[in-house]
Amino acid sequence: MANENNGFVAFNPQEALAEIDGAADTMAETTEAPRSLMFVLLTIVSTALALVNIVPWAVIFGIACLLIPVGLWHFLLMRKRPKKRAVLNHSGPYIVNALLLLLVTQCSRFWEPGAWWEIVAKWLVIFTLSWIAVSRMRATTIKNRIKDANEHSF
């Protein structure tokens, strides 16, 4: 009878560590820009890169001007979030994905579409490869930030 009313809950260290790990992941995730912002940014950049040398430069400039509200959105969104600690050094996968992103943007200039379906195909290729690279860069940054925080002595 004494065991039923003592009010103690069994402590499970594995559950506590899993909860702490989940909270660390959530905190590191909230310091990064949201995926919706990345999606809008990559959509605008992919559109500009797909249409370069197809439409007049005034149209490309107009599309690029859409980055101003996106930058304002990012500023207003990130000022409410916790300040992120800088990652001291980026890992190899981060650098590889950054180089992939640069390669995609540079190689897109060599592909000059002649028909509308080629423009759509170019946009899909640019957007897909850029999304893969940026998503992996974001995931690697979060992983490095958590690893750095776990190794940081207080």
Domain boundaries of the chain, sorted by first residue: 31-147
Half-sphere exposure of 86 (CA within 13 A, CB side): 2
pLDDT: which is higher, 69 or 17 = 69
Question: Residues 100-124: pLDDT tens digits?
Answer: 999 999 999 998 898 999 999 999 9
pLDDT confidence band for 1 (50 / 70 / 90): very low
Using CA atoms, how far apart are residues 59 and 97, in angstroms rounded to an integer? Answer: 29
Residue 5, pLDDT above cutoff 80:
no
Higher pLDDT, 109 or 147: 109
Q: How far apart are CA 142 and CA 133, in angstroms?
A: 14
Burial class (CB in 10 A: 0-12, 13-18, 19+), 90: middle
Residue with tokens 């990064």: 32
The torsion region of residue 25 among left (phi > 0), alpha (psi -120 to 50) and beta comes to: alpha
Which position has the higher pLDDT, 25 or 36? 36
Q: Report, as an integer, the average pLDDT of 119-144.
A: 92
pLDDT per position as a tens digit, 60-99: 999 999 999 999 998 988 887 766 666 666 788 889 999 9
**pLDDT above 90: residue 153:** no
Task: Look at residue 87 in the predicted model and tell me its pLDDT.
Answer: 62
Percent of the chain with pLDDT over 90: 47
150 or 137, greater pLDDT: 137
Q: How far apart are the first and last CA of the chain?
A: 45
Cα–Cα separations (whole angstroms), residue 16 to 19, 30, 91, 145, 146: 5, 21, 29, 21, 17
The C-alpha atoms of residue 40 and residue 70 are separated, in whole angstroms, by 8
pLDDT, tens digit, for every residue of 45-64?
Answer: 999 999 998 999 999 999 99
